[in-house]
Amino acid sequence: MNTRRDFLRNAFVTMGGLSLPGTIPMLSAGQAAGSPLGGPAGKAPMRFIFMHRGNGLFPKVMVPPSFGPKEMELESRNDAYVVDLDGHELPEWMSPLAAHKENLTILQGLSGKMCTTGHHSWCSSLGVFKANERPGSIKWATVDFELAKLFPSPMEHIELACFPTGGGNARGSLDGIAKGFSARGPQQANYAFGSPKTAVDEIFKSVSASKDGQVRYQLERKVLEFAAGHHAEIASQLDGIERQKVGNYAGSIEDIRERNRKIDLMADAVRRHAPKLDAKYLAEDLTTLDRQVGHAEVLLSSLIAGLTNVVAFTVDELGHEYTGIPGLEGEKVNMHDVGHGKVIGGVEAPEIRKRSEHHHMELVNRIVTRLKSVPEDGGTMFDNTMVFYFPDSGETHHSQGTEYPFVVMAGNNARLNLGRRYIRLPYWGREGHKTLGNFYTTLLNTFGNPIKHYGVLDPALVGDQTGPIAQLMA
């Protein structure tokens, strides 16, 4: 550690500055009044969970098998249409969501040709621009961070990931804290927690039950206090750009300290809702499926405790070796091989996809069911929540970005024209076609950011591509 930059980078990562914004946001009205679990007056914030997976998501597997000849004919031509899901059977891999059909939207037809597609897309599908693992490729904050600005919280944003180990981002960092798949701003990659244990240790360290954990937390506070004062003193002795740089470092550390002070004020709620995970979810050698469940529990605890209103969850990435898939428990499944249609352990590639995606829907069911059990503002926390499940690189293994299928779970206060519907939008290149940028613009416009358009435009499309999707606006 030879420079102040090295020192600060290490401080940010080890002391919880993983989603550090330019300034620490104030608590939302509901959180300022107390716990978001039904405290005194104050409107509850909206919450957003972005769950994305690698290796593509086939549009054909999204179609309910009970659709009749008319719907299937429209589907075969990729024609736009809408169907009420009431009375229809969900695809088998989506069956865990059957009890929540009223809140479910299957959204087809969005494109993302302006994004990085293929093996690894990094933060591209959340930012709607081409990106690689280098921070210099990041044009602006990804949509999850933009939504976090609209609904401030002490930690602003939390990111969890099943990191790749065989290529792609953060290789070799399966259990640690490493560069994630979201971005705080231009050239500012976010950091993500690779294991449930690491996430619990870092996010909930202020209420650690262990003596060692509390000693570590207090030491970190002292280091931050020293660093903020030390760099402020250095800044006062410099001029020009160097003074600005060092002043920014000092201000950033002070922002972390302010965030920690706010979390300390919420200690009772944080302690009450800290995740109580079974030992297998905290083990060093855990299966992919157990890792995903552990992350889902951390996600839920962070939301319910009021630490954040936005979570990004990379449920898998192409370079991640899957373990624990039903029927393949003894295998390390290479999803790149699955993408190329290889048979593994006697199981064909489409079936492997189906089993892993079924488990993802079990995670969504776990999240929705839990949030529906938590009272809030005369309803439940899920009333004020949206969950998005989608591929980070498009419609298949070697995708072109013509389609990004979405599973959307929306609570009653989502203020969008969603719920219990299968929606196929006009296909790429056809009149009325919409992109990921249009969808994210819809979200931002609905929840308080009147931006004209979010994301890069598709140079191959003609006509005005900007604006929200009118039919989804309430």
Question: What are the residue ranges of helices labelled H in 266-309?
Answer: 267-273, 279-282, 288-305
Higher pLDDT, 240 or 348: 348
What does the alpha-carbon distance between residue 261 and residue 6 come to, in Å, rounded to a whole number? 25
Total domains, the chain: 1
Q: Which residue has the higher pLDDT, 6 or 291?
A: 291
- Per the prediction, the chain carries an average pLDDT of 85
Least confident of 99-113, 161-175, 397-411: 161-175
Q: Are 104 and 420 in contact (CB under 8 A)?
A: yes
**How far apart (Å, rounded) are the C-alpha atoms in residues 14 and 217?**
11
The answer to whether 227 touches 216, Cβ cutoff 8 Å, is no
Q: Could you read off the pLDDT of 60-83 as tens digits, one per residue?
A: 999 999 999 999 999 999 999 999
Residue 31 in this model has a pLDDT that exceeds 70: no
The whole-number pLDDT of residue 220 equals 54
Q: Among residues of the chain, what percentage have pLDDT more than 70? A: 77
When pLDDT is cut at 50, 70 and 90, the band that residue 406 belongs to is very high
Average pLDDT of 193-200?
92
How confident is residue 236, by pLDDT bands cut at 50, 70 and 90? low
Residue 333 resides in a domain: yes
* Model confidence at 169: pLDDT above 70: no
| Percent of the chain residues topping a pLDDT of 90 | 65
20 within a domain of the structure (yes/no): no
Q: Check pLDDT > 70 for residue 27.
A: no
Examine residue 73 and state whether it is found in any structural domain, yes or no.
yes
Contact criterion met (CB below 8 Å) for 408 and 104: yes
CATH of residue 54: 3.40.720
104 close to 407: Cβ distance less than 8 angstroms: yes
> Residues 130-151: what's their mean pLDDT?
95
Residue among 29, 37, 17 nearest 189 (CA):
17
- Neighbour tally for 77: CB within 10 Å: 10
Residue 436 belongs to domain spanning:
44-204+274-472
Q: Is residue 70 part of a domain?
A: yes
Provide the edge-to-edge strand list for the sheet that holds 385-391: 81-84, 421-424, 104-108, 406-410, 385-391, 47-53, 310-314, 158-161, 188-193, 177-185
Residues 324-369 have pLDDT tens digits of: 999 999 999 999 999 999 999 999 999 999 999 999 999 999 999 9
* pLDDT value of position 270: 81
For 463, the token pair is: 């006509």
Between 252-261, 262-271, 386-395, the lowest mean confidence (pLDDT) is in 252-261
Q: How far apart are CA 366 and CA 404, in angstroms?
A: 24
Tell me which of 60-64, 234-238, 246-250 is least confident: 246-250
Q: Are strands 104-108 and 421-424 parallel, antiparallel or unpaired?
A: parallel
Mean pLDDT is lowest, of 116-125, 193-202, 227-236, for 227-236
* pLDDT above 90 (res 474): no
Average pLDDT score over residue span 217-246: 57
- The reply to whether 407 falls in a domain is yes
Q: Is residue 223 part of a domain?
A: no
pTM above 0.75, yes or no: yes
Q: Is residue 220 in a domain?
A: no
Report residue 201's pLDDT band, with 50, 70 and 90 as the boundaries: confident
Q: Is the pLDDT of residue 39 over 50?
A: no
Interacting residues of 168 by C-beta distance below 8 A, sequence separation 6+: 54, 119, 120, 133, 317, 318, 319
How many angstroms separate the CA atoms of 181 and 51, rounded? Answer: 11
Q: Is the pLDDT of residue 252 over 80?
A: no
The answer to whether residue 103 is domain-embedded is yes
pLDDT one-digit tens code per residue, 275-333 = 888 989 988 889 999 999 999 999 999 999 999 999 999 999 988 999 999 999 999 99
pLDDT value at residue 373: 97
Mean pLDDT over residues 180-186, rounded?
93
